[in-house]
Structure 1
Amino acid sequence: MELFDNIVLGFETALQWQNLLFCLIGVALGTAVGVLPGIGPTATVAMLLPITFNFDEPVSALIMLAGIYYGAQYGGSTTAILLNLPGESSAAVTAIDGHQMALQGRAGHALAVAAIGSFVAGSVATVVLAVAAPPLARAALKFGAAEYFALVVLGLIASITLARGSAVKALAMVVLGILLGAVGQDLSSGTPRFTFGFRELYGGLEFVAVAVGMFGVAEILKNLHDPEQRGQLVGRVTNLMPSRADLKRIVAPVLRATGIGSALGVLPGGGHVLASYASYAVEKKISKNPREFGRGAIAGVAGPESANNAAAQTSFIPLLTLGIPAHPVMALMIGAFIIQGIQPGPGVMEQQPVLVWGLIASMWIGNLLLVVLNLPLIGLWVRMLSVPYDVLFPAIVVFACIGTYSLSQNAYDILAIAFFGLLGFVLIRCGCEPAPLLLGFVLGPLLEENARRALQISHGDPMTFVTRPISATMLGLAVVALVVALLPAIRRKREVVFSEED
């Protein structure tokens, strides 16, 4: 009964005209950035964060930012199918069979199947989020400082395990992120740390400036350095309604992929990417005709698209229940919470029920809006690729700088954007992924705070982290995850899985 009352509260909030408008804006922007290669939801959310500071209602800001994230999962499939050019990393698997279907004159069927699978999986995964979040939040309220410290360590190590590329480089990025999060005056002693004599750094690094630089500017520099090769549209898109036989063939793949995506979405790192690859592998493994995969198998479109959209929804579970981001976009969502004066964590569901349940209900509405937006407007989304990048990219940078400056009217933040943009570009060129750095930057202060609090409670005894059962279990899992990630056989498999993103 309580769940039903909460869902009713959520829809009452989400159906307010301003929240409906921002939901529509969010999913439309998400579709657009999913279609355009080289931008992505992380950079877009980072650059829109400053705008949310001026929102009257925090729920409106979060509804819009969430819509951008799961909307990008939809949009990425359009150009993956029509142009063999994935607009979003998780759509790379969809391109394998989706583009082959398009070459065979079945582009409309592929797009419709992707939209149907995404809608079903997103809707079901939102139910999973609504059901699982409250009990997890109540359990998390019983965590002490030692348990929270161990949980953050486990989350950071898991993000290393699931990050593409070298696990050692990912670990280095996490450490660098933690160090950047320590910049400023120590809250207990007031001692300046890593300020190098600059008084502007006494208050710490501005989250928005770091995020915009590392993801927005760095991604633009990367794409200017390595221009994307644009594909050619494979004829006209007709017959968007799949046949009855096609609908029967996708039922089982969509259901399996929904389960896979819902489970993997809560994992820190690239859960949505991993979900699409896992779904494709499962469908190919159990297929009666595995040779059709790579040649236009409809299950090869329905499965990955359903999985990555389910994962996009359930990645909100650790954010809303534990205050732990499962994805760089979720780390940015934490930044949006903080900008609005809300401390993310297990207490949010009890202290801000309107916000949490309004956000959850908006996901059902957003998934419905995405179906309406994607199929009739396919021609519009593809024509967006004709926008010259030498016009698009400067406009994005100017917009991001103006938005960041508006937060505190501090010109130093613009310099920080430039610095972190260059740093992010250098790290990308060196084969280092910025996502673990952002997770380390967000979770570093939480890690330090709970470590200090646990040691104060135990009078400086570090054994408190291993004598408490829950804390010891999570730290043990973190050690196992790190060892597994560094094993040569596992490392080679990771490289194969994530190589399609580049």
Structure 2
Amino acid sequence: MDIFANLALGFGEAFAPQTLLYCFIGVFLGTFIGVLPGIGALATISMLLPLTFYVPPTAALVMLAGIYYGAQYGGSTASILLNLPGTPSAAVACLDGYPMGQQGRAGVALLMTTYASFIGSSLGIIILTAFSPLLADVALSFGPADYFAMMLLGLVAAATLAQGSPVKGIAMVLVGLALGMVGTDVQTGQQRFTFDIPQLADGISLVALAMGLFGVAEVIASINRMGAGQKAKEKITLRSMVPTARDMMASTLPMLRGTGIGAVFGALPGAGATIASFMSYAIEKKVARDPSRFGKGAIEGVTAPESANNAAAQTAFIPTLTLGIPGDAVMALMLGAMIIQGIQPGPHLVTEHPELFWGLIASFWIGNIMLVILNLPLIGIWVKMLSIPYRILYPAILLFICIGIYSVNNSAFDILLVLIFGIVGYVMMLLRFEPAPLILGFILGPLMEEHLRRAMLLSRGDPAVFLERPISAGFLAVTFALLAWALVGLVRQQRAQRRAMVEAGP
């Protein structure tokens, strides 16, 4: 069967009334929980997993998948309006989306994120459909040394996310690495840096860290403005939501680059949408003619990561469906849902259950069209949230954060962690330290350590393995090129400052 016959089979399954209904339920719930701060796709899918016992396999997976990529659509909404990421992968949208909202361009930012989400998802689906076997082979060919080199590249790129000194960016990466080491060592079973606190045995919650650094810190910073609303007081009309031609031109190439980055990182087990969005932002900042615009409302700083995380959300199904290897916790739940239905994910899934595999892919097209139809009319409602007074808005935000954090692990300790990280985030704001490199260091650190130790075990302690493999050697070459680029830029900046001081005189 060729690809068109496979898609015909898939659309026949996806257009079944029951499948359409569950697809709509999934994308609607995904958008809703993506917009709400503190409640993510992981918690929602966990709560709905028992429902899959009573739903046909295709309909169940279509609904769970709709929640996952629907949350990617809605996650940036709270980032733009409230500086509070609805999902961890939307944390990077705070950097430029929130400044756009404060400049009165919240409608444009939300419309462009919807457009970027659709472009990223659509291209991701095309890649998933046409190149799934090829991308699966590439992901399967990666060894521990290759993964380590890729993670190292991500950490070096993370330092460029800082708005101020690169030294501060590196410092935040190191803090993220240290926080990522908290918990139980996978290989030895020994607890590290838990300080005899049982709740830290499983490590620090990423959701708690992200919500604390971005959400609670903003609430604390806004305490002295509790009686006010947001700056955008003007009425948001449909015309004000329409982007300018300059916005479209500035976003076209970044969206394509973001889609490519998201497609690659989504297909790699252990990478995912969060890493893809941060990497996309870092690359856009590197290739920009004026990097100083980032963090102040640059449209490409919103659209590129948005297309990246939505493309990654689609291609993340490649290793899960074709290899039986979940790329993240959400994909692990998807894997569990298939096993509950008696379906074994892996290379034989396409041939043994073609109606499920291609029906799921076809539902991605239908679900993304539903999301555009749902998001565009509701943009005005989200923007009107800007006028809600802080004394009403922020207590509600804190309530949603507490409910969302508690629902993940049913742990009151996670709520305490959110409060602690919120205070730390506020202090970081005062000292002008950016939280984004810390988040990426926290995500990449454990993965990097795991692959480093595995590579060294396989090579019997010979570090030359990182240079012998072409893939890892290529990643290391790019890493050192980035370091050299950053060093040259720092030297030029210092020379310019010295020249200015000499010209100014005593």
1:38 equivalent in structure 2: none
The answer to whether the 8 Å contact 1:160/1:269 transfers is: no
Q: Secondary structure at the match of 2:48?
A: coil
Residue 450 of structure 1 pairs with residue 444 of structure 2: no
Distance 2:241 2:440 in 1: 42
Shift of 1:23: 0.4
Given that 1:349 and 1:356 are in contact with CA atoms closer than 8 Å, whether structure 2 keeps it comes out as no
1:152-171 equivalences in 2 (<5 Å): 152-171=151-170
Matched-pair contact (CA < 8 Å) for 1:77–1:91: yes
Within 1, Cα distance between the matches of 2:491 and 2:31?
A: 36
| 2: CA distance, partners of 1:77 / 1:453 | 40
Compared with structure 1, are the counterparts of its residues 253 and 141 closer, same or farther at alpha carbon in structure 2 (3 Å cutoff)? same
Q: Residues 279, 254 of structure 1: CA spacing in aligned structure 2 closer, same or farther, 3 A cutoff?
A: farther
Distance 1:425 1:358 in 2: 47
Counterpart residue number, 1:138: 137
For residues 428 and 351 of structure 1, the distance between their equivalents in structure 2, rounded to whole angstroms, comes to 51
How far does the alpha carbon of each residue in 1:228-277 deviate from its partner, in whole angstroms, 9 at most, with x for none? 873455567367999xxx99x99988865653443465684545657888
1:126-179 deviation per Cα after TM superposition (whole angstroms, max 9, x unaligned):
345424554223212112221221122122222333454433222222222222
* Aligned amino acid, residue 20 of structure 1: F
Question: Structure 1 residue 55: deviation in Å?
Answer: 2.1
Q: Which amino acid aligns with 2:46?
A: F
What code does the residue aligned with 1:455 have? M
Q: Secondary structure at the match of 1:195?
A: coil
8 Å contact kept, 1:124–1:310? no
1:416, CA displacement in angstroms? 2.2
Q: Which residue of 1 aligns with 2:504?
A: none
Residues 430, 315 of structure 1: alpha-carbon distance in 2 compared, 3 angstrom cutoff: farther
CA distance in 2, matches of 1:45, 1:318: 23
- Give the structure-2-normalised TM-score: 0.66
Deviations 1:310-355 (A, max 9, x none): 34433447755689xxxxxxxxx9343456777xxxx987598899
Supply the RMSD in Å over aligned alpha carbons.
5.1
Which residue does 2:230 correspond to in 1? 230
Alpha-carbon distance change, 78 to 8 in structure 1, aligned in 2, over 3 angstroms: farther
Q: Are the aligned partners of 1:50 and 1:407 in contact in 2 as well (CA < 8 Å)?
A: yes
Counterpart of 1:84 in structure 2 is: none
Match of 2:141, SS? coil
Which residue, out of 23, 28, 38, partners 2:27?
Answer: 23
Aligned partners of 2:259 and 2:311 also within 8 Å: yes
Compared with structure 1, are the counterparts of its residues 78 and 153 closer, same or farther at alpha carbon in structure 2 (3 Å cutoff)? Answer: closer
1:202 paired residue number: 201
| Closer/same/farther in 2, CA of residues 392 and 168 from structure 1, 3 Å limit | same
Counting matched residue pairs gives 436
Distance 1:116 1:269 in 2: 15
What TM-score does the superposition give when structure 1 sets the normalisation length? 0.67
2:123 to 122, 125, 128: 125
- Structure 2 counterpart SS, 1:24: helix
Q: Percent identity?
A: 33
Distance 1:135 1:451 in 2: 26
Point out where structure 2 has 5 or more consecutive residues left out of the alignment. Answer: 53-59, 83-92, 266-274, 291-297, 321-326, 337-343, 494-506
**Counterpart Cα distance in 2 of 1:408 and 1:69:** 22
- Gap runs ≥5 in structure 1: 34-42, 80-86, 283-299, 324-332, 493-502
Q: Distance in 1 between matches of 2:428 and 2:109?
A: 36
Change in 2 beyond 3 A, CA 1:356/1:179:
farther
1:66 counterpart = 2:74: no
Matches for 1:283-362 after TM superposition, within 5 Å = 310-316=307-313, 334-337=328-331, 350=347
Tell me, in whole angstroms, the C-alpha distance in 2 between the residues paired with 1:185 and 1:241: 48
Q: SS at the partner of 2:406?
A: helix
1:259 pairs, out of 253, 256, 259, with: 256
2:383 matched residue in structure 1: 382
> Which SS does the other structure have where 1:189 is aligned?
coil
Letter in 1 for 2:21: W
Following the alignment from structure 1 to structure 2, what is the Cα–Cα distance between the partners of residues 115 and 408?
30
Once the two structures are TM-superposed, the CA of residue 411 in structure 1 deviates from its matched residue by: 3.0
From the superposition, tell whether residues 116 and 320 of structure 1 become closer, same or farther in structure 2 (CA, over 3 Å).
closer
**Alpha carbons 1:159, 1:268 under 8 Å: kept:** no
Hey, what does 1:328 align to over in structure 2? none
1:125–1:311 CA contact under 8 A, matched in 2: no
- Indicate if the aligned counterparts of 2:80 and 2:100 stay in contact, CA closer than 8 A: yes
Amino acid at match of 1:177: G
What is the CA-CA distance between 1:450 and the residue it aligns to?
A: 1.6
C-alpha displacement of 1:212:
3.5
CA distance in 2, matches of 1:8, 1:413: 45
Q: How many angstroms apart in 2 are the aligned matches of 1:118 and 1:433?
A: 25
Residue 407 of structure 1 and its aligned partner are, at CA, apart by 4.1
Letter in 2 for 1:429: L
Report 1:31-110 matches (<5 A): 44=38, 49-56=42-49, 59=61, 60-61=63-64, 63-71=66-74, 89-91=95-97
How many angstroms apart in 2 are the aligned matches of 1:357 and 1:437?
A: 39
Question: C-alpha distance in 2, partners of 1:491/1:319?
Answer: 41
Matched residue SS, 1:214? helix
- Aligned twin of 1:487: 488
* Cα pair 1:67 1:363 within 8 Å, conserved: no
Provide the rounded CA distance (Å) in 2 between the counterparts of 1:240 and 1:436: 33
Aligned partners of 1:163 and 1:13: how far apart in 2?
44
Counterpart residue type for residue 181 of structure 2? A
Residue pair 2:160, 2:282 contacting (<8 A) in 1 also: no
Partner of 2:175: 176
- Residue 55 of structure 1 aligns to a residue in which SS? helix
DSSP-derived class of the 2:426 partner: helix
- Residues 140 and 412 from structure 1, CA distance in 2 versus in 1: closer, same or farther, beyond 3 angstroms? same
Aligned partners of 2:102 and 2:12: how far apart in 1?
38
Superposition pairs of residues 3-22 of structure 1, within 5 angstroms: 5=6, 9=10, 12=13, 15-22=19-26
Partners in 1 of 2:99 and 2:214 — Cα distance? 23
Q: Residue type of the partner of 2:182? A: V
2:409 is equivalent to residue 416 of structure 1: no
Matches of 2:189 and 2:110, distance apart in 1: 58
Q: Where do 1:421-436 residues align within 5 Å?
A: 421-436=422-437
Query: Is the 8 Å Cα contact of residues 90 and 308 (structure 1) preserved in structure 2?
Result: no
User: How many Å separate the matches in 2 of 1:491 and 1:318?
Assistant: 40
Q: Are the counterparts in 2 of residues 276 and 307 from structure 1 also a CA contact under 8 Å? A: yes
Contact 2:124/2:315 (8 A) holds in 1: no
- Quote the residue 2:501 is aligned against: none
Find the residue that maps to 2:187 and give its secondary structure: coil
Query: Could you tell me which amino acid in structure 2 is paired with residue 334 of structure 1?
Result: D
- Distance in 1 separating the partners of 2:137 and 2:168: 36
How far apart, in 2, do the equivalents of 1:28 and 1:426 lie? Answer: 31
8 Å CA contact retained: 2:101, 2:232: no
Q: Which residue of 2 aligns with 1:218?
A: 217
